[in-house]
Amino acid sequence: MEDFIDALDDEDLAERLAIAISGRGAFRRFKDVLGRHPGELEAWYAFSDDRQSGRARAWLAAAGCSPSVTGRPSST
């Protein structure tokens, strides 16, 4: 969440989010603040999904797994 906040251009929103993530219930407060900014909420979900995918790929790579390249199924 901190990395997302650091990347925001809106300093007021960034400050409110930084306050929201302190203490218990941080994720809920974070999402509540972002809920008032639908575009930023979508950006958060995209950011979060990307980070989670990256961690999963890193974990798989560390476990010795590598992707196999296959052709896309043809649409007929």
Q: Structural domain boundaries of the chain?
A: 2-61
Q: 68's torsion region: left (phi>0), alpha (psi -120 to 50) or beta?
A: beta
* pLDDT score for 38: 92
According to the model, what pLDDT value does residue 65 have?
A: 87
**Cα 35 to Cα 12, 29, 54, 72, distances in angstroms:** 15, 10, 25, 37
Q: Is 34 exposed, middle or buried (0-12, 13-18, 19+ CB in 10 A)?
A: buried
Name the pTM for this structure.
0.75
Question: What does each of the 76 residues of the chain score in pLDDT, given as a tens digit?
Answer: 999 999 999 999 999 999 999 999 999 999 999 999 999 999 999 999 999 999 999 999 999 988 776 666 666 5
